Amino acid sequence: MSVQHKIFRTANAPTTPPDETETSVAQALIDLENNVPDLKSELRPLQISAAREVDVRGGKKAIVIFVPVPQLKAFHKVQQRLTRELEKKFSDRHVVFVAQRRMLRKPTRNSRVKQKRPRSRTLTNVHEKILEDLVFPTEIVGKRTRVATDGSKLLKVFLDSKDATSLEYKLDSFSSVYRRLTGKDVVFEFPVQVQE
């Protein structure tokens, strides 16, 4: 299978030819498909729609891999193993999978929209889904929005504390990627367990 077949441009994905990051991610997926026999059957039908590099604090980088929404469940089945293998291949970079979702603008009086805008296409819903995709397979157990006196907002997201050891090192990457994709500041934390 060629690199071109692994990159599937959805309607809202970029229409430019694949750049260096996308090509290297697609090639890595093909290599994993060919070299790891127990991943072969799961990886064969999967495609990516785009890939981007995001700068993280401390001079590190993160690779955001966008996948078509219909294939997201299939990616979730192998995501932990796939992330581990890709992070080995792209050393010193964290790998994150996010679905390529579409937002529709709010209908105005003048727009001739025949249908009601689905909830899944609203900005709020898309941003919530991006947050869930970023931290998968960990669950979000709580959210708090902190509004400063100057009006700026900070979203605090509390993750399941049982995954603290496996995700602690990625929290800065999650914050940077979310800020780059949505423009919103977010802090990821694990709730403190009070022992009696």
DSSP states along 122-159: SHHHHHHHHHHHHHTTSPEEEEEEEE-TTS-EEEEEEE
CB 65 within 8 A of CB 48: yes
Predicted pLDDT at 13: 59
The pTM of this model reads 0.84
Measured CA angle at 2 (ends 30, 61), to 5 deg? 50
Does residue 110 lie in a domain region? no
Predicted pLDDT at 93: 86
Report which of 97, 167, 181, 101 is spatially closest to residue 133, judged by C-alpha positions. 97
Predicted pLDDT at 98: 92
Does residue 88 lie in a domain region? yes
Predicted pLDDT at 19: 80
Does residue 69 lie in a domain region? yes
Predicted pLDDT at 150: 92
Does residue 180 lie in a domain region? yes
Does residue 142 lie in a domain region? yes
Q: Which residues, given as ranges, of the chain have pLDDT below 50?
A: none
Predicted pLDDT at 149: 92
Does residue 195 lie in a domain region? no
Domain count, the chain: 1
Does residue 196 lie in a domain region? no
Q: Which domain holds residue 50?
A: 3-104+115-189
Does residue 9 lie in a domain region? yes
Give 137's DSSP letter: T
Per-residue pLDDT reduced to its tens digit, 71-127: 888 888 888 888 888 888 888 888 899 998 888 888 777 877 777 888 888 888 898
